[in-house]
Amino acid sequence: MSQTAYGSQPAAEPNYGKVERPPHVAPELVVDFNYRDPIPPGEDNYIVLSRLQQQGHDVLWTPHNGGHWIVTRGEDIRWVQENYQIFSHEVFNIPRGMSRIIMPPLTVDPPLHARYRAVFNPYFQPSKVAAMREKARGLAIELIEKIRKQGCCELISEFSSILPVIMFLGIVDLPVERRQEFLAWGHQFSFAKEQKDRDAGLGKVLSYLNQVTQQRFEKPGDDLLSAIAGWRNNPRFNGEAEVTGMAALIFFGGLDTVNAAISFMLRHLAQSPAHRQRIIDDPAIIPRAVEEYLRRHGLSNTGRLILEDVERKGATMKADEMIMVPIGCSGIDNRLYNNAWDIDYDRPELLSDRGVPTHNTFGNGPHKCVGAPLARAEMQIVLEEWLKRIPNFRLDPDKPIRVHMDSVPGIDEMHLLIGA
């Protein structure tokens, strides 16, 4: 097996175009799927993903974005996530070369992965998350009250994109007053259509984080950014890019994901008075409800670099090719879940016999999301505080929802009317 050397991300320009089918790819596995295509009006990213499951084969290949494999079923998604020996996380964006920076621990495979992950783990322990939870609650209440008084809102810009940024600022102890600036940087990076705009957004975040980690190195606090800055003292420190990359990962990791998770959850509730009532009548169901929304709305279409030739369900994959893991396919997989598309807080297969969530939304294996407890806490607070203050709300019928796929699927625009 050939392990790629850490830090050796290909510097080649990303190929966003189409390539010829290589001879080892069977013609019946080819699908015309470009995850960067806009979602047509009135459609949904999960409908687009479900078409992949209707092709008659579970492992597919698309010529778009330089050509890559796609796993479309929950069992294969988990198989890729767990088998880091075959599927390297060093290159996790498709096309290759799209990501310009290393972001340890995300871009490092075991065994080196653990040393970077150890910097993050203490900051997501229950006691830390409990403290952040209360911070999030205050802000959530403030935003919800404003929306309630207005009688309407555009949810993404007025609520769900704001909460994760504030949480990030709390974890790393940065001034909340600068949140608009951070939001703008994050948006420029996440929603840029051109690579140069994306790089410009990234550049602003990196240069700021670089400056702050320098300051924290000199005068450390007890926040995560200080711990990341302290990596410079670690005997295994391997260059400044590691420090800035770790800081960037914590900035970006919880931004689009939590935004999307909250937005999809409130989109469903806006259309289902029965589910709203269930939570109001029985708030103890909230943790399970959050888990069910996470299951149904799997996020992120990350890639892996294939390290060795491998066969799976009739597909012959070769070393040095890319494979996509569209986690959203897992939650709509009817082979895994009964009536997978339905939201059912009581579905028995939501948790294993040991009470562990069965979904793949936070990944599996070494890279399993370190921020999961925080994401869950934020979503729970939203359910607790929103439904207490705004028990009735619905989609504005005159303003259609806009949804995107990309690396992290989500909602761009969603207008809500408050009241029955």
Tell me if 66 sits within 8 A of 85, measured CB to CB.
no
- Write down the least CB distance from residue 412 to ligand HEM, Å: 17
253 binds ligand HEM per the rule CB under 6 A = yes
361 binds ligand HEM per the rule CB under 6 A = yes
Exposure class string for 137-175: b at 16+ Cβ within 10 A, else e: bebbbebbeebeeeeebebbebbbbbbbbbbbbbbbebe
User: Hey, what amino acid is at 35?
Assistant: Y
Strands 68-71 and 322-326: parallel
Q: What is d(CA 314, CA 327) in angstroms, rounded to the nearest whole number? A: 21
User: Hey, what amino acid is at 164?
Assistant: P
Q: Which of 35, 120, 182, 337 binds ligand HEM (CB under 6 A)?
A: 120
**Which tokens belong to 195?**
């690579």
105 binds ligand HEM per the rule CB under 6 A = yes
Q: In sequence order, what are the residues at sequence separation of 6 or more whose Cβ sits closer than 8 angstroms to the Cβ of residue 320?
A: 305, 306
Interface positions, 182-241, toward ligand HEM (CB under 6 A): none
261 binds ligand HEM per the rule CB under 6 A = yes
- Write down the least CB distance from residue 194 to ligand HEM, Å: 24
- Write down the least CB distance from residue 31 to ligand HEM, Å: 21
Q: Which residues pair with 70 in a beta bridge?
A: 60, 324
245 binds ligand HEM per the rule CB under 6 A = no
Exposure class string for 400-413: b at 16+ Cβ within 10 A, else e: ebebbbbbbbbbee
Report the residue number, 39 or 258, with the smaller CB distance to ligand HEM. 258
- Write down the least CB distance from residue 28 to ligand HEM, Å: 28
117 binds ligand HEM per the rule CB under 6 A = yes
Interacting span for ligand HEM (CB under 6 A) from 151-159, 195-203, 230-238, 248-256: 248-256
Interface positions, 372-411, toward ligand HEM (CB under 6 A): 374-375
Q: What is d(CA 264, CA 262) in angstroms, rounded to the nearest whole number? A: 6
Provide the 3-class DSSP secondary structure of residue 95.
coil
Q: Distances from the Cα of 135 to the Cαs of 14, 173, 374, in angstroms?
A: 40, 12, 12
Q: Which of 45, 72, 81, 160 binds ligand HEM (CB under 6 A)?
A: 81
- Write down the least CB distance from residue 357 to ligand HEM, Å: 12
- Write down the least CB distance from residue 42 to ligand HEM, Å: 25
Q: What is d(CA 98, CA 101) in angstroms, rounded to the nearest whole number? A: 9
50 binds ligand HEM per the rule CB under 6 A = no
65 binds ligand HEM per the rule CB under 6 A = no
- Write down the least CB distance from residue 123 to ligand HEM, Å: 9
92 binds ligand HEM per the rule CB under 6 A = yes
35 binds ligand HEM per the rule CB under 6 A = no
250 binds ligand HEM per the rule CB under 6 A = yes
63 binds ligand HEM per the rule CB under 6 A = no
- Write down the least CB distance from residue 149 to ligand HEM, Å: 28
Q: Distances from the Cα of 313 to the Cαs of 60, 75, 125, 316, 317, in angstroms?
A: 10, 12, 39, 9, 11
Q: What is d(CA 241, CA 229) in angstroms, rounded to the nearest whole number? A: 11
- Write down the least CB distance from residue 26 to ligand HEM, Å: 27
**Which tokens belong to 144?**
């919800």
Report the residue number, 299 or 315, with the smaller CB distance to ligand HEM. 299
Strands 410-413 and 402-404: antiparallel
Question: Dihedral (C-alpha) 74, 75, 78, 82: value to the nearest 10 degrees?
Answer: -170
Report the residue number, 273 or 287, with the smaller CB distance to ligand HEM. 287
- Report the interface residues with ligand HEM, using CB under 6 A: 81, 92, 105-106, 117, 120, 249-250, 253-254, 257-258, 261, 299-300, 302, 327, 361-363, 367, 369-371, 374-375
